[in-house]
Amino acid sequence: MTIHQNLIAGEWVGTEAVKNINPSNTNDVVGEYARASADDAKAAIAAAKAAFPAWSRSGILERHAILKKTADEIIARKDEIGRLLAREEGKTLPEAIGETVRAGQIFEFFAGETLRLAGEVLPSVRPNIGVEITREPVGVVGIITPWNFPIAIPAWKIAPALCYGNTVVFKPAELVPGCAWAIVDILHRAGLPKGVLNLVMGKGSVVGQVMLDSPDVQAITFTGSTVTGKRVAAASIEHNRKFQLEMGGKNPFVVLDDADLTVAVEAAANSGFFSTGQRCTASSRLIVTEGIHDRFVAALTEKLKNLVVDDALKAGTHIGPVVDASQLKQDTDYIEIGKGEGATLAYGGDLLKRDNPGFYLQPALFTEATNDMRISREEIFGPVASVIRVKDYDEALALANDTPFGLSSGIATTSLKHATHFKRNSEAGMVMVNLPTAGVDFHVPFGGRKGSSYGPREQGKYANEFYTTVKTAYTLA
């Protein structure tokens, strides 16, 4: 089997490889991918540093052409890359193709942004002096991405980094090297100069640590666990570098008595269980007022019974497997924790067998949960959700905000008054009304509050706040 190598200074390198296993069928090896060493990571950083002066001053048409060519190829190959994504991560094929298209759209957006780079010219408060305010690239950007969105998250970090003239050292999650390799290969063939984009696949404890320790990495953008995010922050403060963190979530979805029941159930099922619940924006806290509680639980349970859990590539599958054995154990451990805390397992939670060996878990729904239970406080990151009964909107809002996280929140209601109040008073970076908490647009800001995020927002034109630094220049006329 061909080894998919790391890209360092424009050359494909690496002989030691690990197998990429399909969670829908553990007998299926998706491919073999090189594992970078600490020396490889150091070489990648040095290459990015050397490439920065020329790339940071490159013409905007050159950057536009490379990003646009990348976008076009990703979209043209959406079925092929989507299939790769489904095989390595376990997301259903329609979801995987949709994520691939989104990655292409992100590159297309930032291709356009290269032609919209702008500054300001202002008069000085002093006579005969002009003031120019411009944005310049930061330098070498370290990019560390998670396994749950193998192509979209790398795209929304790499595209703006390159758009604004930075060079990149990219470390994807070990579980999903396939999509990362594919996107780097496309960018490389699109004409990126040597050293501008470097791929170092491997262990976070090795490759990631070198990135954290290097004074030559001027910025790090990280999406992953809260624990690792704190390590990124501490190391970045040591080097006085910019850092951007997207971490955990324990997102609430509120259902009020006046909600359209069909809308509420569809949004809750999507929020909590689609993509196997493996989304930082997923809703695992369903906060439901008592007047609609029993009808909502009955309807959601019926919905879950009709969801098909199977191979991600099989037509008709609604929910694919959990990503690996470690994550599956975490999910089942939390199901036992929920039972032990006194919540009622109203549906699901069983391990499932399918035609091929894989990490299949029946969606689990708890009822009679309280907001102080671990299953209501800690991020599970699987198809497990809890219903918390409340008396009215005020109690629902209070519980929704009673969390150390603040990424996304949602409400199902037909009341304009409550919808408006919730949008204003929900302590989350993103608020959804009669929509799933998971599902965002690529051209607007993404990010949260409290323990969920730190630093400037991702995506859209707001990305320039992280990937650029501001310069103010004064000229005597």
> Are the CB atoms for 432 and 270 separated by under 8 Å?
no
pLDDT of residue 22: 98
CA 99, CA 278: separation in Å to the nearest integer?
A: 14
Average pLDDT over residues 406-431: 98
| pLDDT tens digit sequence for 256-269 | 999 999 999 999 99
Sheet strands (E) in 124-261: 129-137, 140-144, 167-171, 197-199, 219-223, 242-246, 251-255
- DSSP 8-state code for residue 193: P
Residue 463 pLDDT greater than 90, yes or no? yes
CA 310, CA 98: separation in Å to the nearest integer?
A: 19
> Are the CB atoms for 289 and 256 separated by under 8 Å?
yes
212 Cβ contact partners less than 8 Å away, ≥ 6 residues apart:
142, 220, 231, 232, 235, 236
φ and ψ of 395, to 5 deg: -70, -40
| pLDDT tens digit sequence for 367-410 | 999 999 999 999 999 999 999 999 999 999 999 999 999 999 99
φ and ψ of 332, to 5 deg: -70, -30
Nearest to 160 by CA among 193, 211, 199, 112: 112
Percent of the chain clearing pLDDT 90 (strictly above): 99
Side chain identity, residue 69: K
CA 400, CA 163: separation in Å to the nearest integer?
A: 37
Active site residue 280: yes
Nearest to 105 by CA among 449, 444, 442: 442
- The pLDDT-based confidence of 1 (bands split at 50, 70, 90) is confident
The catalytic position among 99, 280, 379, 458 is 280
**Which DSSP string corresponds to 198-225?**
EE--S-IIIIIHHHHH-TT--EEEEES-
Strands 408-412 and 129-137: unpaired
- DSSP 8-state code for residue 275: G
Separation in Å, CA 11 to CA 40, 196, 226, 253, 457: 12, 12, 34, 48, 33
Separation in Å, CA 242 to CA 146, 196, 221, 450, 466: 19, 19, 8, 18, 8
CA 247, CA 146: separation in Å to the nearest integer?
A: 10
**Token digits for 219?**
């910025």
**What three-state secondary structure class fits 16?**
coil
Residue 477 pLDDT greater than 90, yes or no? no
* Residue in this structure with the two tokens 């991600």, named with its chain if needed: 312
Stated as kind and residue range, the H or E segment containing 295 is helix 290-305
**Token digits for 144?**
């560390």
The residues facing 116 across adjacent strands are none
- The pLDDT-based confidence of 429 (bands split at 50, 70, 90) is very high
**Token digits for 20?**
């990429």
- The pLDDT-based confidence of 165 (bands split at 50, 70, 90) is very high
CA 220, CA 213: separation in Å to the nearest integer?
A: 11
CA 294, CA 394: separation in Å to the nearest integer?
A: 20
pLDDT of residue 89: 98
- DSSP 8-state code for residue 282: -
| pLDDT tens digit sequence for 279-331 | 999 999 999 999 999 999 999 999 999 999 999 999 999 999 999 999 999 99
| pLDDT tens digit sequence for 45-82 | 999 999 999 999 999 999 999 999 999 999 999 999 99
The residues facing 134 across adjacent strands are 471
The catalytic position among 113, 246, 379, 458 is 246
φ and ψ of 16, to 5 deg: -75, 130
Active site residue 179: no
Chain mean pLDDT for the chain: 97
| pLDDT tens digit sequence for 108-161 | 999 999 999 999 999 999 999 999 999 999 999 999 999 999 999 999 999 999
Nearest to 25 by CA among 358, 309, 275: 358
Nearest to 111 by CA among 191, 200, 171, 49: 191
Nearest to 96 by CA among 81, 74, 118, 114: 81
* Residue in this structure with the two tokens 């918390």, named with its chain if needed: 388
Strands 251-255 and 283-289: parallel
130 Cβ contact partners less than 8 Å away, ≥ 6 residues apart:
121, 122, 123, 124, 474, 475, 477
pTM greater than 0.95 (yes/no): yes
| pLDDT tens digit sequence for 318-343 | 999 999 999 999 999 999 999 999 99
